[in-house]
Structure 1
Amino acid sequence: MSHVLVIEDDEITAREIALELAAHGISADRVNDGLQGLQRAQEPIYDAITLDLMLPGMDGLTLVTQLRERGIRTPVLMISALGDVNERVRGLRAGGDDYLTKPFAPDEMAARIEVLLRRHRQEPSAQTRLRVADLELDMITRIARRGNRELTLLPTEYRLLEFLMRYPGQVLTRAMIFESVWGLRFDPGTNLIDVHIARLRRKVDIDGEPSLIRTMRGSGYRLG
């Protein structure tokens, strides 16, 4: 069972996080201030961390910066009531692995934690090629192929395909895709993701080939 450290000073939010993680088979410990969080986060028993940015004792940005300076690579999901793009960029530059804005849906939070856990186990930074079925992406040459057919991808299509291929078989929500590929907070009113998925699907899945990009209604998309 994976073990997550929840660093959150709001008791209701911390309880919601712990209950949702438990529903996904993930155990959680909670601390409610930054100084204690920094101490606990250095323990090797945790597979991931949820980190509120606004904490007593030590703020989340300082905490994650100190963790990275000390060589602690545990993946961190940063959580904040501040939803502007600059705040998100600061959090990720400080060493956070993902960023979620309050208020959030508990299942969205759990999905992001599961992605971080999977990414950490696979150590994707060491990968130079991604493969799903007969679809292959060379991240050095930035060339994608399906079988013997080379795909001509625009820059956004390439980033979208790379993100999907990093997590084969896993449902990725629209919010996760939007923030990872476009670097922006998801707007439920936009159809930008659907338009780009449709364009990418026309290049990846042509007549006679099994469909690899699947729409999971009400949830998001899955590759493979």
Structure 2
Amino acid sequence: MASRTQNHIFLLEDDTNLSETVTDFLEEEGFAVTCAYDGEEAEAMLYERRYDILLLDVNVPGVDGFSLLKEARERGVDTPAIFITSLNAIENLEEGYASGADDYIRKPFALKELLLRITTLLKRNFAHRETPRVPIAEGVEFDAVGNTLYKEGEPLSLQPKELALLKLFLAHPGRTVSHETIYETLWDYDETPSESALRTYIKNLRKIIGKERIVSIKRYGYKYLPL
């Protein structure tokens, strides 16, 4: 397995055999992969968390890949995206880039070529990423590149799950994040989610950014209210 900070990839591919092949390969390379098999399922899953790369087949049941990405871009999703498709006409290429794609790979393809395209986009995205701290509350800023929270200019120490929870809220400003999504993000598959631990993480974050910034939605989840 390659040594790297784990990046999370969203894969939309309706061919289950190809989906499994790509997923197994990428997981062996150290990536986490979330799969969807049709456009409507992808629509429901795409906004549940922040991904580092989107791999999108075009001709899938339900919403096609072009329309899915175009809507995502309109909703502010700037995650680098690669279309995986058998379409090869120049018009298809133009439509793909017009919908917001960063790259395009045609079937059939070599898995190592896909890996090269993914790693190239990740490096490009990191190199172009601005590093200013983002204000998230009065006197509180977050550096998304360094994964560091600052209060009055001083770095604060957060537990890993508190940091993951904060990043999840910042990826969904003004939107309710369900308990289920939080549990899936904070706890690994071999861990048991803890409601009491989650309440503690919420309490600690509220102490830093203000109770009014994290609103409890009864029986459903929490909502982060940006400045």
Which residue in the other structure is 2:70 paired with? 65
Mean CA deviation greater in 40-49 or 52-61: 40-49
Mean CA deviation greater in 110-119 or 99-108: 110-119
C-alpha contact (below 8 Å) 1:41/1:49 kept by paired residues: no
Which residue in the other structure is 2:13 paired with? 8
TM-superposed CA distance for 1:52, in Å, is 0.2
- For residue 76 of structure 1, the aligned residue among 81, 90, 102 is 81
In 2, Cα distance between equivalents of 1:14 and 1:103: 13
Which residue in the other structure is 2:106 paired with? 101
Which residue in the other structure is 2:49 paired with? 44
Alignment of 1:182-197 (within 5 A): none
TM (normalized to structure 1)?
0.53
Alignment of 1:32-181 (within 5 A): 32-123=37-128
- For residue 31 of structure 1, the aligned residue among 28, 32, 36 is 36
In 2, Cα distance between equivalents of 1:37 and 1:26: 19
TM-superposed CA distance for 1:100, in Å, is 0.5
Cα deviations across residues 12-49 of structure 1 (Å, max 9, x unaligned)?
11112112212321111111011121222223331111
After TM superposition, which residue ranges in structure 1, 4 or more long, deviate above 3 angstroms?
none
In 2, Cα distance between equivalents of 1:124 and 1:104: 29
Determine what percentage of the aligned residue pairs are the same residue: 33
Residue identity in the other structure for 1:30: C
In 2, Cα distance between equivalents of 1:84 and 1:124: 32
- For residue 19 of structure 1, the aligned residue among 13, 24, 31 is 24
Cα deviations across residues 123-157 of structure 1 (Å, max 9, x unaligned)?
2699xxxxxxxxxxxxxxxxxxxxxxxxxxxxxxx
Task: Name stretches of at least 5 consecutive residues in structure 2 with no aligned partner.
Answer: 1-5, 132-227
Residue identity in the other structure for 1:32: Y
TM-superposed CA distance for 1:5, in Å, is 0.7
In 1, Cα distance between equivalents of 2:127 and 2:61: 34
SS in 2 for 1:68: helix
Residue identity in the other structure for 1:95: G
RMSD across aligned C-alpha pairs, in angstroms?
1.7
Number of residue pairs matched? 126
SS in 2 for 1:74: coil
